[in-house]
Amino acid sequence: MTNPVTCFGEILLRLTPPGNGMLVQANALDLVVGGAEANVASALASLGHDVRFASVVPDNPLGERALAALRACGVDAGHVARTGGRMGLYFLESGSGARPSAITYDRAGSAFACAAPQAIDFAGALEGARLLHCGGITPALGPGGVALARAAHDAARSIGVPICFDGNYRAQLWSAWDSDPAATLRELVADATILIGNHRDISLLLGRPFSGDGARRRREAAEAAFAAFPRLELIASTARQLVNSDHHRIAARVDSRAGHYQTEEIDVSGIVDRIGTGDAFAAGVIDGWLADAGLEAMAQRGLALAALKHSIAGDMCPVSRAMLDGFSAGAGDVRR
């Protein structure tokens, strides 16, 4: 395997009432495999990249089901440790019309959240890697998650592997324990070369609001982040306007220290599944970064993958290189 991308985080099972049902109505639940970093790993592998996944799963059939999903996408799961414990779960109620989607977590005390850093062979998972992708969900799980995140960052920095960090702020997780999310995330973002996050994430990190509207506010936030975090080279984000649960308008943006590129806004309607769309965006940005393709290409690839993911059920985005290259907003006719 040549210069793989290593993704690190918790892989989860998602349980969803069929259709757009609510949990209080449910007599059955559909199961898919997901989790933010696993979604990025699967998308990059589907685009043809060599990808390793580092994590911990329980040594039982639920853990094996999760690993099977990664392998099916072409992800190397050889650095996922198996331990005792339980599988992390989350429940999704898919929104429709005026009713938004809702998530209920059941991941406290999971095998991953309780794992000691030495359970994961970070050195092996990062050997020869081009990039480490991780994010803010792992430290949100509790003190053990903070230790895991620090260990991953320390291992990457010790051998000069750049880090892509997705802020992925999850208020439900941070509020469940005596946490200081701003301080913890500042420490981790300080290690990053690429930040996936918008002006609200940067406001949390720096403890200050940003003025202006739209693009001007985003640039002000980006410049403040670049000043605060000397290692940071790129910031990638989306802007989303919700018409209703089935119709969104989305634009993408990538900022560097020297400049920026922001796409035109596109309409995404007839939404099948919003979950994982931010992870698809991150994968598109990383795909452009790996190709040294420039700010415009990173933003456009991120937007394309995010838009395509809205049409795909489940957490993961198994979009091929040909599908990505052939994407154009509004092109919905049958390809023959």
DSSP labels for 154-175?
HHHHHTT--EEEE----HHHHT
Q: What's the one-letter identity of residue 138?
A: T
Q: How far is CA 2 from the centre of its chain?
A: 23
- Which alpha helices (H) appear in 98-233, and where do they start and end? 122-126, 137-140, 143-158, 171-174, 181-189, 199-206, 214-228
303-327 residues labelled b (16+ CB within 10 A) or e (exposed): bbbbbbbbebebbbbbbeeebbeeb
CB 115 within 8 A of CB 143: no
Q: What is the pLDDT of residue 242?
A: 86
For the chain, the maximum distance between any two Cα atoms, rounded to a whole number of angstroms, is 56
- Specify the pLDDT at position 226: 98
Q: How far apart are the first and last CA of the chain?
A: 35
The conformation of residue 129, written as its DSSP 8-state character, comes to -
Q: What's the CA gap between 158 and 153, in Å, rounded?
A: 8
> Per-residue pLDDT tens for 122-180?
999 999 999 999 999 999 999 999 999 999 999 999 999 999 999 999 999 999 999 99
The domain covering 5-325 belongs, at the CATH homologous superfamily level, to Ribokinase (3.40.1190.20)
Stretches in the chain below the pLDDT threshold 70: 1-2, 328-336
pLDDT of residue 1: 44
Compute the distance between CA of residue 35 and CA of residue 39 in angstroms, rounded to an integer.
Answer: 6
Contacts of 292 (CB under 8 A, 6+ apart): none
**Could you give the angle at the alpha carbon of 58 between the alpha carbons of 41 and 161, nearest 5°?**
35
